[in-house]
Every structure is written in C-alpha cells, then in structure tokens.
C-alpha cells in the first residue's frame, strides 16, 4: 500500500479501567506520519447504476450496490483496472434468489480463484453467500449458502461468520454493543456499550442509536474493527471479541449532544464522524465524514471528507484530506487510489470519484 513509510510517530498509551471491562489500552492520536490533501476526479463506469450507495473492491473486481432498487438490479460488477462493466445481479422479490432490502456486510471469501461475498437481507433477516464467480459465468444469482441469525442477537446489523461457524456482530439489542455467538454451545457473549457516558440520554432499548458504528472484519478474520459515528474513536478487537486497544482523538466528544435536550434531541450542530471502514490485509482505512446533522439533513456535498490509515497494531500511518464528500469508499492498493461514491449534484455526470494516494 503506502510505500517506503517508516512509522516514526510516538503514540501516547494510557491505561483506563472501565466497568465490566478489563484494563485496556487507549492510544491518543495526535498526528499522522503522512498528511496529504488530494483532489478527486470523476470517473465513468461503463453502464453505471442510477443511484449507487456502496462500493467494494475484491481482488480484480469492483462491486457497487444500488440504493433501494433504482434499477432492475441491485449489484453491479466492474473490472478494477478498466472500470468496464462485467455483470449485474440481484432483483427485488421474495423468491429464493431475490432480495427485499439487501446490504453488503463487507465480508468476502476467496478460494481457488472463486470470489464470494456475504449479503444481508434485512427484511428477510437472512445472510446469503453469493458466489460472484459463478454468478458472472451463469448470468444469474448463485447463492452457495444462507442462514438466519439467532433470535438472541435481536436484529443483527452487521454480522460476520467465522470459519468455525461462530458469529460476531452488532445489533439493535440493549444487551451490548457487539456480540459473539458460539454456534456449538448456542450461547451469546455481549460486549457492554462503551465508552460510558455519565447520564445516558436515551432509554436502554435505544442505546444502539447512541453507539451506532461501522464495523468490519479483516480479510483474514483476525480482527474486528468498530468505528463509532458520534465519538471520534476506533476500537479494535480480536476474533474472540477481546478488546485489544482503542484509537481516540483528543477532540472526541465525551458526551455527544444526542437526545440530551428532549425539545431538540438531534441538534443541527451534532457531528457525525466515522461512516465507513475498509479493511485490507495490512491496513485499517477509516472514513471520517466530519459532517454536522444540519449538513446531513440537507443532503448536500460538504466538500470535505478524510480517510485515515492505521496498522492493525494501532500506528497512525496516513491521513488523506479529500476535496469532496464521499459516502462510501473502497481502496485500490495496487494502483494507489481511493474510490468514493459522492452525493448527487445537478452538474455531476458521475457519482464516482477517484483520489490518488501515491
């Protein structure tokens, strides 16, 4: 990825104890070894979807998800290097190979040249493993495997399946921020909602709204990374959900102004931080949108986003300040690009923006 970078930054390590948690490391992030402002350029995909809202790079493929069935298909597949259209799949419906409200979890599998991705159908509450290679070859949606999340997880939001068939994920449960489901013993372990706030402003059943996050699993399934939206912090766990460390910025709010005032529960100055993650084999890429509720409600291009890069041991590698707001992103490490999906504008011929990192 980032070539010839020696990680010279010193990281302050503090130790803080938390109720119902073991003592854990907190790393205060002050600066990055590389800091660059980069301008984006529009790129044209062949046969573009009407309203894309998610982009992912897997091996030689770019996979784009369309928002709420704007077109006939949900997912579009392109060549990573040429941006040429390869195939589409996923239609709306209640059939076995159809989707009601699909969401890509970001988890994928590659074996013997075969690429597969996990997709969650929110209305059906089912997780489906799509065989992308066979879907392209047969020109129809091929599902290799599917399962329903256990009821104890209480509407899973981002769920990942491990090689031993255990599950890790986030949900809407008041029991905790993340869960680990042991498939052999049929038991569930919960990670408490943290960081703790002095006076939780919302009811227990709504705690997941205060701690809403983007959570991903690394390609080798060794790490689970959870970046909070209303706190400027990223928490890293191993694949047993043991908390390894947290990366926290000094300006992270200790008490987000969320539902504090019943007359103004979501104030216009409330800041939304992390809205997307991209995990490669070596690096954590975090999208800090740094957008206020007022800007978000207007659905406008704020002209600002940043992608922060960390190692899995917590070293801050680089920060790329983008001249465009992006809602979803993927990393092309081979060619040195950030690919982003931005908000639509009248003068925008393509919602896809490319930023050159190196």
Question: Is there a cis peptide before residue 195, judged by omega within 30 degrees of 0?
Answer: yes
* pLDDT at residue 24, as a whole number: 52
The CB density around residue 16, as the number of other CB atoms within 10 Å, is 12
Q: Residue 24: inside a domain, yes or no?
A: yes
Sheet containing strand 52-58, edge to edge, reads: 52-58, 61-66, 75-79, 85-89
Q: Count of domains in the chain?
A: 1
* pLDDT at residue 345, as a whole number: 58
Q: Residue 145: inside a domain, yes or no?
A: no
Q: Residue 219: inside a domain, yes or no?
A: yes
Q: Residue 111: inside a domain, yes or no?
A: no
Q: Residue 238: inside a domain, yes or no?
A: yes
Condensed to tens digits (0 to 9), the pLDDT of residues 100-145 reads 888 888 999 999 999 999 998 877 888 899 999 999 999 999 999 9
Q: Report the sign of the C-alpha dihedral through residues 260, 266, 271, 275, in that order.
A: positive
CA 253/CA 58 separation, integer angstroms: 35
Q: Residue 222: inside a domain, yes or no?
A: yes
pTM for the complete prediction? Answer: 0.89
Condensed to tens digits (0 to 9), the pLDDT of residues 195-242 reads 998 877 677 778 888 999 999 999 999 999 999 999 999 999 999 999
Q: Is the pLDDT of residue 302 over 70?
A: no
Q: Is the pLDDT of residue 289 over 50?
A: yes
CA 341/CA 53 separation, integer angstroms: 7
Q: Residue 62: inside a domain, yes or no?
A: no
* pLDDT at residue 82, as a whole number: 96
Q: Residue 263: inside a domain, yes or no?
A: yes
Condensed to tens digits (0 to 9), the pLDDT of residues 49-95 reads 988 999 999 999 999 998 866 888 999 999 999 999 999 999 888 88
* pLDDT at residue 234, as a whole number: 98
CA 260/CA 230 separation, integer angstroms: 13
Sheet containing strand 223-228, edge to edge, reads: 12-18, 21-29, 243-249, 233-238, 223-228, 213-217
Q: Report the sign of the C-alpha dihedral through residues 357, 252, 234, 272, in that order.
A: negative
Which residue segment(s) compose the domain that 5 sits in? 1-31+150-325
């Amino acid at each position: 990825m980032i070539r010839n970078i020696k990680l010279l930054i010193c990281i302050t390590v503090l130790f803080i104890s938390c109720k119902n948690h073991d003592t854990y490391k907190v790393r205060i992030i002050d600066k990055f070894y590389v800091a660059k402002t980069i301008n984006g350029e529009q790129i044209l995909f062949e046969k573009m979807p009407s309203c894309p809202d998610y982009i992912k790079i897997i091996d030689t493929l770019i996979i784009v998800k369309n928002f709420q069935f704007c077109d006939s298909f949900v997912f579009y597949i392109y060549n990573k290097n040429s941006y040429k259209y390869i195939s589409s799949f996923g239609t709306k419906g209640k059939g076995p190979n159809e989707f009601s409200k699909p969401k890509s979890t970001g988890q994928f599998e590659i074996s013997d040249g075969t690429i597969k991705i996990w997709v969650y159908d929110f209305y059906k509450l089912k997780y489906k493993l799509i065989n992308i290679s066979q879907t392209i070859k047969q020109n129809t949606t091929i599902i290799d495997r599917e399962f329903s999340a256990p009821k104890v997880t209480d509407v899973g939001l981002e769920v990942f399946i491990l090689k031993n068939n255990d599950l890790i994920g986030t949900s809407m449960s008041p029991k905790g921020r993340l869960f680990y489901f042991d498939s052999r013993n049929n038991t569930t372990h919960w990670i408490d909602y943290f960081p703790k706030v002095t006076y939780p402003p919302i009811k227990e059943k709504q705690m997941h709204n205060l701690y809403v996050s983007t959570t991903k699993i690394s390609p080798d399934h060794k790490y689970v990374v959870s970046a909070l939206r209303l706190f400027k912090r990223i928490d890293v766990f191993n694949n047993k959900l043991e908390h390894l460390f947290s990366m926290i910025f000094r300006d992270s709010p200790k008490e987000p102004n969320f539902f504090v005032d019943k007359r103004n529960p979501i104030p216009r100055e409330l800041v939304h931080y992390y809205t997307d993650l991209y995990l490669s084999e070596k690096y954590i890429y975090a999208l800090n949108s740094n957008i206020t509720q007022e800007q978000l409600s207007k659905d406008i291009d704020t002209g600002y986003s940043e992608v922060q890069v960390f190692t899995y041991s917590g070293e801050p590698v680089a920060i790329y300040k983008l001249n465009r707001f992006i809602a979803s992103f993927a990393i092309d490490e081979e060619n040195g690009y950030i690919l982003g999906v931005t908000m639509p504008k009248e003068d925008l011929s393509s919602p896809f923006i490319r930023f050159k990192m190196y």
